[in-house]
Structure 1
Amino acid sequence: MRFSNFFLLILCAGNLLTANAQTTTTLQISNPSSLTYFDKVIEVPWKTINKIDTAKLIVIESDTKMQIPFQLEKKGTSNVVNLLIQISLNSYQNKNILITTGQREKFASKTYGRYVPERLDDFAWENDKIAYRMYGKALETTPKDNAYGMDVWVKRTDRLILNERYKRGDYHIDHGDGMDYYHVGFTLGAGNMMPYLNDSIYYSKNYVEYKVLDNGPLRTSFQLFYNEWQVGDQKVKVTKTFSLDAGDWLNKIEVNYSGSNVKNLPVVAGIIGRPEPGVKYFNEQNGIMSYWEPQHGPDGVTALSCLFPSAVQKMAEIKGQLLTFAKTDEQGAITYYSGATWNRQSTFTNNNAWVKYLEDFKESLVAKIVIQKISQ
């Protein structure tokens, strides 16, 4: 009996060691392009990773043995969908990472968003580069302040500042970390999207409900829901899903219309123009529209863009707005990117540098990072 128990103990110990070894996943992350990525957020499908205790999960870069930032993305569910990691890659570089368990280091959160009831239902979000907000239904009760488009809050700090600015209340003044001087009004602002029929933009009212899907440290994503409104001869509703990664200036925006006939619905994404001369860039074939605004006195220059994954029908300036014309798919959905930067943030100090970033961003959508599991 003692002899049998001894071998049973050995067998259990062996099984335990094997189980521990199987919790570690080694991945090769490959950059197939000539682009260089600095602190890029990469999605690793959770199904790729061996079963592991998420409370003890750490991610290690194999060469340096250093931990790297990560996030468990759940997309508004109770289950992990993706492991988000943030790494740098040179052109054509391969890099191995280990997903294992251990003592986790602390990393600063680089994205954040929230509903702001104290400011008439704003929904505001930011990363370490820039900040944005969309307007809620309560703002419609103050017609002189109401607006329909996306707003930009420029930053020159990598800290998260939304709560500080709302608490101060005077975010139209630069206290050393940036400000809000962007004017939206009854326009698409900094890249909002609306249906376009009969030579007219059919504006919805402001959002009425929201849902936070994920909130940092590397990606903040949320949904905004809008009441139905009349678009031509039908009533439509829309849900917009926004996603902003650490280190990026552009939001990924997934727009889903519902109605009796939203297949191939004509839409426009747009940027408000200014009376003074700025630099406008239209590249329909590459799906990139950008606008380097005129100097806004001592506040500097805001640059903006709407970017589409593929070629678009048309781009034009109409009635004071730069517009990109597109259509939804057969399900009434369309995905695009929009965002902004500030020359006083110092990353992009001229239009050429901003357009180069947009062209590289577009290329990154095509030459995607390759993820390969190389051990079990």
Structure 2
Amino acid sequence: MTVLSKILLVSAFLCQATPALAIEPVPMPKIVKPVEPPADNARAPAAFVTIAPYRYDDVLWENDRTAHRLYGHALEAYEPPSGSGMDAWGKNVRWPFMERQLHTGQQHDYHGEGLDFYDVGGTRGMGGLGIWYDNKLWTSRNYVKARILNPGPTEASFEVDYAPWPVDVGRKVWETRRLTLPVGTNFTRMVSTISSDSQAPLVVGIGLEKKPTGQQKGTFTADRATGRFAWWGPTDPEKGTMGTAVMVDPAMITDVKEDGDNYLVLITVTPGKPFVYYAGAAWDKGLDFRTQADWLAYVRAQTPDFKP
């Protein structure tokens, strides 16, 4: 089966399995510089992942509902504040758009398909992690290696490696993470394996950034019993509102805390043993959600698989 045939098959499946939502139209941001959309035969719903050497090795991955980015080692010299937090973009088209958006040189502006107004900086962004020790989150720098496992179009998957980083002065850890995003969902599934020079258990903090779109924190909703944690941001008058969420195995949760930048879900893991969690995002000017209630209902309706 050709790639085009696969895309058309996915499109037909989604039309039958997920009827269009009766969602109210909203005012969109001003188009700064229109981007020419893809050809008609490339506008079907699709998942996609690529490594962007023209953007310091960013890993870009998206599907028909959401779009994300991880930062590569090359960016560290250009943007020293960058780190291993996960970026989330708003999009209002079903086809991949991130590369066209980046090539404008103005990815933070709206060009008709979406935009990046979620500021990760040195935070955990949408579901990045670190090691919680001595009331502090110890985090890695940008990824050092990336491998695309499946470029799409029905599912995008890849792996990233993070070089050893210190946990205080007595320990080092390093991570390999596999990320998978199929069409039809706002959640990326992640399988993380954190290794260490000690076999003592680790407390991992999975974070949701408090203020990625401005100076206000937004609203954090925690349901420890079901392992669902969601954030809904304040509204930017021009660009709208972002929402994020993580889903974690409730049996692994030891506490829920926060630091200066992030709300944190703490879980206990064994070095070298993989564990699964999910992270997702939404934009209220996209095609699927308009309110915090819509987003929370969607998060609660998910059926995650926490088996590695």
Q: Same fold (TM over 0.5)?
A: yes
**Residue 204 of structure 2 corresponds to residue 267 of structure 1:** yes
Q: How high is the TM-score relative to the length of structure 1?
A: 0.67
Select the residue among 235, 242, 266 that pairs with 1:302.
242
Q: TM-score, normalised by structure 2?
A: 0.81
Matched residue, 1:344: 285
Greater shift in the superposed pair: 231-240 or 251-260: 231-240
- 306-315 vs 233-242, which moves further: 306-315
| 1:183 aligns to 2:119 (yes or no) | yes
Cα offsets for 1:111-134 (capped at 9, x unmatched)? 111111111111111101111000
Q: Give 1:184 shift.
A: 0.6
Residues 186-335 of structure 1 mapped to structure 2, 5 A cutoff:
186-232=122-168, 233-262=170-199, 264-274=201-211, 275-311=215-251, 312-329=253-270, 331-335=272-276
Q: Residues 202 and 181 of structure 1: is their aligned pair in 2 closer, same or farther, counting only changes over 3 Å?
A: same
Aligned equivalents of 1:236, 1:278: Cα separation in 2: 32
In 1, are the aligned partners of 2:234 and 2:241 still within 8 Å (CA)? yes
Written as runs of structure 1 = structure 2, the 5 A alignment for 1:23-62 is: none
| Aligned residue type for 1:324 | V
Q: Supply the distance in 2 between the matched residues of 1:69 and 1:344 (Cα, whole angstroms).
A: 24
Q: What amino acid is the match of 2:105?
A: G
2:74 is matched with which residue?
Answer: 138
| Contact residue 270 and residue 324 of structure 1 kept, 8 A | yes
How far is 1:263 from its partner? 5.3
Question: 1:159 Cα deviation (Å)?
Answer: 1.6
User: Is the 1:264–1:332 Cα contact (8 Å) retained in structure 2?
Assistant: no
Give the Cα separation in 2 of the matches to 1:203 and 1:330: 16
Moved over 6 A (4+): none
Partner of 2:17: 88
1:129 equivalent to 2:87? Answer: no
Matched residue SS, 2:298: helix
Cα deviations across residues 243-295 of structure 1 (Å, max 9, x unaligned)? 11101111101110122335531101101112425221011111011100111
Measure, in 2, the Cα distance between the counterparts of 1:68 and 1:283. Answer: 37
Task: Please identify which structure carries the higher strand content.
Answer: 1
2:196–2:272 Cα contact (<8 Å) kept: no
In 1, distance between residues paired with 2:217 and 2:194?
Answer: 35
Per-residue deviation, residues 140-173 of structure 1 (Å, max 9, x unmatched): 1024552331111110111211221122121111
> How far, CA to CA, are the matches of 1:277 and 1:125 in structure 2?
26
Tell me how far apart the structure 1 counterparts of residues 79 and 93 of structure 2 sit (CA, whole Å): 33
The answer on whether the counterparts of 1:234 and 1:259 sit within 8 Å (CA) in structure 2 is yes
For 1:202 and 1:208, the matched residues in 2 are separated by: 17
In 2, Cα distance between equivalents of 1:89 and 1:173? 30
The answer on whether the counterparts of 2:43 and 2:94 sit within 8 Å (CA) in structure 1 is: no
Q: Is the 8 A contact 2:47 2:154 kept in 1?
A: yes
Contact 1:221 1:241 in 2 (8 A): yes
- What is the CA–CA distance in structure 1 between the aligned matches of 2:177 and 2:289, rounded to whole Å? 28
| In structure 2, distance between residues paired with 1:107 and 1:290 | 30
Specify the code of the residue in structure 2 equivalent to 1:315. V
Bigger Rg over Cα? 1
Q: Which amino acid aligns with 1:285?
A: A
Give the deviation of 1:137 after TM superposition: 0.6
Instruction: Tell me what 2:38 maps to.
Output: none
Q: Secondary structure at the match of 1:276?
A: coil
Residues 50-71 of structure 1, C-alpha deviations (whole Å, 9 max, x = no match): xxxx78xx99xxxxxxx9439x
Decide whether aligned partners of structure 1 residues 185 and 330 sit closer, same or farther in structure 2, where only a CA change above 3 A counts.
closer
Q: CA contact under 8 A between 1:250 and 1:339: conserved in structure 2?
A: yes
CA gap 1:276/1:164 in 2 versus in 1, 3 angstroms: same
How many angstroms apart in 1 are the aligned matches of 2:131 and 2:120?
18
The aligned counterpart of 1:158 is 94
Q: Tell me the distance in 2 between the aligned counterparts of 1:113 and 1:142.
A: 23
Contact 1:127 1:246 in 2 (8 A): yes
